[in-house]
Amino acid sequence: MPTPLSQRKLYRVPEEGVLKGVCAGLAHYFGVPVKLLRLIVVLSLFFGLFMFTVVGYFLLAWLLEPVPAQSFNDENAVSAADLLAEADRELNASEQRLRQVERYVTSETFGVRSRFRDL
């Protein structure tokens, strides 16, 4: 269960960052993808917020402290094997549903019901 914003602390994440790790820290804080936040920052540079974005970024880079070691490891505890197993379960369940639909559409019951609807 994700922790509420009031219980989180904002850090810089230099290990995941491109420049100083401010966008990575904000992304972890708000629970959004880092790429999305970086896209928003780049777009704000081009659409009239250049000075605000640059000053804000460097101010946050100066004010925020780096993340303590092992801080985000609990958030990303899902391993690749677990993700693959979950994807496999979803694919198997989808395949079973597709087979049931295919069985119904090719059945005699479907043909009879569609002919009654045409009447």
Please measure the distance between the N-terminal and C-terminal CA atoms of the chain and give it in whole angstroms: 54
Model confidence at 100, pLDDT cuts 50, 70, 90, reads: very high
Model confidence at 96, pLDDT cuts 50, 70, 90, reads: very high
> What sign has the CA pseudo-torsion 90, 88, 84, 37?
negative
The pTM assigned to this predicted structure is 0.52
Cβ–Cβ under 8 Å, residues 114 and 67: no
Interior/surface letters 68-81, b for 16+ CB within 10 angstroms, e for the rest = eeeebeeeeeeeee
